[in-house]
Every structure is written in C-alpha cells, then in structure tokens.
A = this chain, B = another copy of it.
Amino acid sequence: MPKSLEEFREYRERMNAKILAWENLDIKRFFALDSAVYREGKLPPKTKELLGLVASVVLRCDDCVLYHLMRCGEEGVTDEEFHETMSVALIVGGSILIPHLRQAAEIWERIQSGKKADGTP
C-alpha cells in the first residue's frame, strides 16, 4: 500500500534539501538537469510527463511513478490517457509491473478524487 501523497511530498522535499546542501556540485547540477528536462520544448510538458511516467513504470521506481502521477494530474492528463500509458508500459515490461500498476492505480485515484473535491490539482 503506497504512502500518502503528503507524506511523500514532505519527505521528498526535506531530503532533497539536505542533499542539495552537500558540497557536491555534480549532484546539484544533476538535480537542476532533472527539473529542466521536463520543461516545455517542442514536446509539451504533458507529453514529457507521460514519457517520464512510462520510463518510471518500466524501471519499477514507485516514488518516481508517484511524482510523475502528481505532475500528470497537474498537466490535465485524463483517466483514459493514464490507462493507455499504463497499457504500453505493461506490454513492454510484463507482469512484474503489475504490483506497480496497482500502486499507480491507487495513487491516481487519490490524485483525481482530491481534484474533484477542491477543484484544484
């Protein structure tokens, strides 16, 4: 069962801040690059988030999936688009992805129900 969105967000921000306080320029630069690569280019941010999502699912990184699902919610990805992205991932990566698909399904439900409740992503 996945952690709550709030718990994840808080832990992610707190630990990222600690890592960025290390005196290690290479790690700081990598984190900057990791933000830059999802910004609008010829591909819109929504497509880039779907790319990040599918990559995270096939590599089976639950925290990465959680993060990209929150971003997909913000970019207005629909339920059907989420399902189709999951179906591509599942065929590419096989049944070992099913536990990650279950987590993604639960998290997406929470994100979408949060949106419906208060009208904001």
Bound state CA distance, A67 and B119, in angstroms? Answer: 39
B51 touches A54 (CB 8 A): yes
Number of A residues near B (Cβ < 8 Å) is: 65
Q: Write out the residue numbers on chain B whose beta carbons fall within 8 Å of the beta carbon of A54.
A: 51, 54-55
Bound state CA distance, A59 and B89, in angstroms? Answer: 11
What is the 8 Å Cβ interface bit string for chain A, positions 66-99, against chain B (1 contact, 0 not)? 0000000000001111011111111111111111
Sample of 12 A–B contacts (CB below 8 Å): A23-B80, A37-B91, A41-B80, A51-B51, A52-B92, A55-B89, A55-B93, A59-B96, A64-B95, A91-B94, A92-B96, A94-B94
Which residues does A use to contact B, with CB under 8 Å?
1, 11-12, 15-16, 18-19, 22-27, 29-31, 33-34, 36-38, 41-43, 47-48, 50-52, 54-56, 58-64, 78-81, 83-99, 101-102, 105-106, 109
